[in-house]
Amino acid sequence: MTPTAPITTRAPEPAALPDGPPVTPTGAETWHIVPGPRTLAGTGPRDLTYTVEIEDGVDAPGFGGQVDAILADRRGWIGQGRVTFRREIAPDARPDVRISLTTPGTSRALCGFAIPYDSSCHVAHRIVVNLARWVRGAHSFGGDLTGYRTYAVNHEMGHVLGYGHVGCPAPGAPAPVMMQQTFGLSNTYLAELNRAEPGAARRVEPDGAVCRPNPWVG
């Protein structure tokens, strides 16, 4: 009998979108404001207004409430005592930032695709939350979809507040919320990915440090 070669399964690329439920691939490239309460979170001197929006053509019940809960948690940005978040709900609202759940096709058009993996971003006065990531999460968070969603909102809000990307500070440490945890938890891996994005290569040192996933600011 001829021996057979062992079957090996290759681990998925850390930055790749995990398998999961199907998502709407493209929408109307317009958004509607999600009805909800006028929430107020935090006591900081900077008053930042936001709307919660969903791209037309997408059904995502519960998105608004989840965003509100993330921003109101003291483990997030309000815990630093520097900002107050205030949600606007009027159809003609003109907030400081629009938190917009957006199809993968529209997300790619807005965020760019220099790093060829689905991601969210902050562009102009909009946080683009990629629907595919919202539904499927990221390999770095395993099956913790709630943790990943929390991270995604906090990370992009960090950009609104003026923070840039950072690397893992030490092996085994909790990842900073401004680390690109959607793509991975290894500094070396992220540094290699960032070579595809002009001006980004120096943000993370390829020093081999690997962090643990962490959705919170503190």
So where are the chain's domains?
A: 31-163
Q: In the CATH scheme, what architecture does the domain 31-163 have?
A: 3-Layer(aba) Sandwich (3.40)
Q: Where are the alpha helices (DSSP H) in 85-207?
A: 104-111, 131-136, 145-160, 187-194
**Does the pLDDT at position 6 exceed 70?**
no
Q: Return d(Cα 56, Cα 33) in angstroms, integer.
A: 10
Say what the pLDDT of residue 113 is: 86
pLDDT tens for 152-187 read 999 999 999 999 999 999 999 999 999 999 999 999
pTM exceeds 0.85 for this model: yes
Q: Return d(Cα 9, Cα 31) in angstroms, integer.
A: 41
Question: Where is pLDDT greater, at 8 or 147?
Answer: 147
pLDDT-derived band at 218 (thresholds 50, 70, 90) equals confident
**Does the pLDDT at position 64 exceed 90?**
yes
Say what the pLDDT of residue 200 is: 56
Q: For residues 201, 215, 41 and 64, what is the CA-based torsion angle, rounded to 10 degrees?
A: 100
Say what the pLDDT of residue 195 is: 87
The overall average pLDDT reported for the chain is 93
**Does the pLDDT at position 15 exceed 70?**
yes
Rg of the chain taking only CA atoms, in angstroms: 18
Residue 74 CA to chain centroid, in angstroms?
18
